[in-house]
Structure 1
Amino acid sequence: MNITDITDEDEKKPLVRQTADPYVYFHKDGYYYFTYSCPEYDRIEIRRAWSVKGLEEARPLTVWRKHADGPMSWHIWAPELHYIDSKWYLYFAAGRAEDPWWIRTWVLENTSQDPFCGEWVEKGMLVPEWDSFMLDTTVFENKGKHFAVWAQKSPEKTENSCLYLAEMSSPYELKFPVTMLTRPEFDWECRGFKVNEGAAVLKRNGKIFITYSASATDATYCMGLLYADENADLTKAQSWTKLEKPVLVTDEAAGIFGPGHNSFTTSRDGKTDYLVYHARPYAEVDLAFALYDPNRHAWVKKIRYDEKGFPVFQ
């Protein structure tokens, strides 16, 4: 095994501490890029290294800071770094200092080929079909089209958040109408809060897999899975199937509590897929203040596939 590969021992301990909502992207330049929610929720940092393991020691670079007031001035959450049409984009959620829970998705753009250089330009809000609480946006490409998936409060406001999908007309514009992929319905999705959030996309074995996180951000937090055929019309709700049971839950024996809000990356040779997710090393957390507990660490584990080509995370 190459020394840069993830081992069984690596899976038993945090990869990088105090980095909730971890997003890791392996770029064509050979670097692994890493961004996450900073514990202070006041800025966006990126790191890079030649291996996933190396991200722990990589020096963070602050590329953007929150505004003093108004939009983008509070709760800077869950940034994701994407490379689309030869430009870099950061998608992130943010509230207002005067209204911290007015959370929406915002976009930054950098035309430099090196995201550690150049200027990060604010492209504005990723405008949804209706205006409500919106966060955890990810984007992906399939068959030459780009799609966004995000969590948002439904117009009926019967849940904290559901998952939606839309094709994109540009890296910072959605096409309407949008498609609801899933709403919290099972017991494991409704513990503490009725939540579907933190989507991540994995394209393998002729399918599009979307993992997502459910329930409150304590030890009940867990991961669910949706899938569709890669040739299907992804904007049709009937193209998607939702598993009735979670695919990753708290592992008390391993000391990993509330796993979720993941991303996917690969080994350098592309032969092994990795799940990068956050979790706490303890169960006890006050639900009222769980989001302000800084000890959601990034963890990593190898993904295997079953006989039907589905990813196995447990």
Structure 2
Amino acid sequence: MSKVTVYHNPIVRERADPWVYRHTDGYYYFTGSVPGYQEIEVRRSKTLNGLEEGERATVWRAHAAGPMSALIWAPEIHYIRGKWYIYFAAAASSETKNNIFQHRMFVIECEEANPLEGLWNEKGQIKTHQESFSLDGTAFEHRDRLYYVWAQKEPAIPGNSNLYLSEMSNPWTLKGTPTLLTIPEFDWEKIGFSVNEGAAVLVRYGKVFITYSGSATDENYQMGLLWADQDADLLDGYAWHKSTVPVFESSEKAAQFGPGHNSFTRSEDGQQDVLIYHARPEKIKAGDPLDNPNRHARAQLFHWQDGMPVFGEPH
């Protein structure tokens, strides 16, 4: 029987949109949004509890001007086909002065074994089916095909962002026609803002699961769930199912608010699934939630029931 791991939350302070990738070298690699939104930092540790004090390096900084100069959001580190990649969203500083979010998605690549020490090269913008606000790209491989899920504003659809899925010809290029996976349609997805964003993929028990986050980034932020059969054509929108209710939300009891923008990993013994997410220790009292750095990265085990994930409550 495997030993139950106890995580000392938060595992990393003041890091929203936490992404953890456990590599074959035995390290957990971590990145997330850094307050000020002007850099990408990567950490690593042999344990999740060790990430707060673990090795760290700033691997990329925002440009002085142009479309990659401001609001560097939600980086994700992946190891794909022998190289490291970080996907992130960025905007132009001239746009942020007018309080207009016009993010696009970008990717950088590192060929070295240790991504904290290697040189990162810019591969450019992830070009989608149209030029509009887009962010929170994540990549995954399934049945020898590489896919990309992201959030984007569709001018013809009410709301702030929807989730899309596309196949990739390489880790920085989409191919074919994208599939619209989900739009904000339920009340819990439309509090403050109508948002579907922050996707994370997990393949278990014959299904492909995609979690995502909805509503504003304050205490109303919460997680939803999509799933499809692992043998289905994932690019067929009708193959996907959607939970009508959130699967992870604020806990007054634990004083953890706005949990979301998650990733998945495995426990140190490799036996248990771990949910990585951010949450706030208090509700937003005033100001823009994005300006408050009190979103902290947290880890907790979750279990399965009838082939579906049960995340419980933040604790």
Question: Structure 1 length normalisation: TM-score?
Answer: 0.95
Q: 1:157 deviation in Å? A: 4.5
Aligned partner of 2:304 in structure 1 is 305
Q: 1:32 aligns with which of 12, 28, 35?
A: 28
Aligned partner of 1:215 in structure 2 is 215
Q: Which amino acid aligns with 1:293?
A: N
The answer to whether residue 53 in structure 2 is matched with residue 57 in structure 1 is yes
* Structure 1 residue ranges (4+ consecutive) displaced by more than 3 angstroms after TM superposition: none
Instruction: State the distance in 2 between where 1:124 and 1:235 align.
Output: 25
Aligned residue runs from structure 1 range 253-272, under 5 A: 253-272=253-272
- SS at structure 1 position matched to 2:50: helix
Q: Which amino acid aligns with 2:293?
A: P
Q: 1:2 deviation in Å? A: 8.0
Instruction: State the distance in 1 between where 2:291 and 2:176 align.
Output: 35
CA displacement 1:137-183 (0-9 Å, x = unmatched): 00101000010000000131411000000000110000121001100
Aligned partner of 1:229 in structure 2 is 229
CA displacement 1:33-59 (0-9 Å, x = unmatched): 000000110000000000111111113
- SS at structure 1 position matched to 2:167: strand
CA displacement 1:68-104 (0-9 Å, x = unmatched): 0101100000000011110110100000011132200
The answer to whether residue 147 in structure 2 is matched with residue 143 in structure 1 is no
Aligned residue runs from structure 1 range 1-314, under 5 A: 6-7=5-6, 10=7, 13-100=9-96, 101-286=101-286, 289-306=288-305, 308-314=306-312
- SS at structure 2 position matched to 1:177: strand
Change (3 A) 1:178 1:155: farther
- SS at structure 2 position matched to 1:98: helix
Instruction: State the distance in 2 between where 1:270 and 1:114 align.
Output: 22
Q: Which amino acid aligns with 2:310?
A: V
Q: Which amino acid aligns with 1:158?
A: P
Q: 1:6 deviation in Å? A: 3.0
Instruction: State the distance in 2 between where 1:28 and 1:59 align.
Output: 17
Instruction: State the distance in 2 between where 1:278 and 1:62 align.
Output: 21
Identity of aligned residues (%): 53
Q: 1:112 deviation in Å? A: 1.1
- Checking the alignment, whether the CA contact within 8 Å between 1:132 and 1:153 is kept in structure 2 is yes
Q: 1:215 deviation in Å? A: 0.3
Q: Which amino acid aligns with 1:185?
A: E
Instruction: State the distance in 1 between where 2:266 and 2:67 align.
Output: 35
- Checking the alignment, whether the CA contact within 8 Å between 1:6 and 1:301 is kept in structure 2 is no
CA displacement 1:106-139 (0-9 Å, x = unmatched): 0001111221222100000000011100000001
Supply the RMSD in Å over aligned alpha carbons. Answer: 1.3
- Checking the alignment, whether the CA contact within 8 Å between 2:45 and 2:55 is kept in structure 1 is no
Instruction: State the distance in 2 between where 1:37 and 1:176 align.
Output: 30
Instruction: State the distance in 2 between where 1:85 and 1:15 align.
Output: 29
Q: Which amino acid aligns with 1:109?
A: E
- Checking the alignment, whether the CA contact within 8 Å between 1:200 and 1:264 is kept in structure 2 is yes
- Structure 1 unmatched runs, 5+: none
Instruction: State the distance in 2 between where 1:51 and 1:2 align.
Output: 16
- SS at structure 1 position matched to 2:158: coil
Q: Which amino acid aligns with 1:299?
A: R
Using the TM superposition, name which of 50-59 and 246-255 deviates more: 50-59
CA displacement 1:172-226 (0-9 Å, x = unmatched): 0001210011000000000000000000011111111100000001111000000
Instruction: State the distance in 2 between where 1:219 and 1:74 align.
Output: 25
- SS at structure 2 position matched to 1:99: helix
- Checking the alignment, whether the CA contact within 8 Å between 2:259 and 2:280 is kept in structure 1 is yes
Instruction: State the distance in 1 between where 2:283 and 2:261 align.
Output: 17
- Checking the alignment, whether the CA contact within 8 Å between 1:218 and 1:285 is kept in structure 2 is no
- Checking the alignment, whether the CA contact within 8 Å between 1:86 and 1:113 is kept in structure 2 is no
Question: Structure 2 length normalisation: TM-score?
Answer: 0.95
